[in-house]
A and B are shown apart, each in its own frame.
Chain A
Amino acid sequence: MLGLLQRLLGQETQSSKKIAKERLRLVLVHDRADVSPHFFEALKNDLVEVISKYMEIDTRRLEVKLHNSPEAVALVANIPVLGMKKNYGS
Chain B
Amino acid sequence: MGKVVVITSGKGGVGKTTAVANIGTALAQLGQQVVMVDTDIGLRNLDVVVGLENRIVYNLVDAVKGRCRLRQALVRDKHLENLFLLPAAQTEDKTAVTAEQMVELCRELKQDYDFVLIDSPAGIEQGFANAVAGAEQAVVITTPEVAAVRDADRVIGLLESRGLKEPQLIINRIRPDMVRRGDMMDMDDILDILAIRLLGIIPEDEHIVVSTNRGEPAVWDKGSRAGLAFRNISRRLMGEEVPLLPIFNHGGLVQRLRRLMGLK
A-side residues, CB < 8 A to B, are 15-18, 20-21, 23-25, 27-28, 31-32, 35
Contact = CB atoms under 8 A, between A and B. Distances in A.
B150 A24 contact: yes
Nearest to A16: B183
Contact of A17 (B154, B157, B189): B189
B153 interface: yes
Given A32-B153, A35-B154, A17 B183 contact: yes
Contacts of A27: 146, 150
A90 B198 CA distance: 47
- Secondary structure at the A interface, as helix, strand, loop or mixed, is helix
Contact of B157 (A16, A23, A24, A35): A35
Interface residues of B, number: 16
A25 B189 CA distance: 10
16 contacts: A16-B182, A16-B183, A17-B179, A17-B186, A18-B182, A21-B185, A21-B189, A21-B193, A24-B193, A25-B193, A27-B150, A31-B150, A31-B153, A31-B154, A32-B153, A35-B154
Contacts of A24: 146, 149-150, 185, 193
Interface of B: 145-146, 149-150, 153-154, 157, 179, 181-186, 189, 193
Contacts of B189: 17, 20-21
Among all A-B residue pairs, the 4 with the closest Cβ atoms: A15-B182, A16-B183, A24-B146, A21-B189
Contacts of B193: 21, 24-25, 28
Contacts of B146: 20, 23-24, 27
B148 to A, nearest CB: 10
A18 B157 CA distance: 25
Nearest to A27: B150
Nearest to A35: B157
A27 B148 CA distance: 12
A27 B151 CA distance: 11
Given A16-B182, A17-B189, A27-B150, 17 more contacts: A15-B181, A15-B182, A15-B183, A17-B179, A17-B184, A18-B182, A20-B145, A20-B189, A21-B189, A23-B146, A24-B146, A24-B149, A24-B193, A31-B150, A32-B157, A35-B154, A35-B157
A35 B159 CA distance: 13
A24 B147 CA distance: 8
Nearest to A28: B153
Nearest to B154: A31
A28 B146 CA distance: 10
Contact of A28 (B150, B183, B184, B185): B150
A20 B190 CA distance: 10
A27 B145 CA distance: 13
Contacts of B157: 32, 35
A28 B182 CA distance: 22
B185 A17 contact: yes
A78 B181 CA distance: 44
Contacts of B183: 15-17
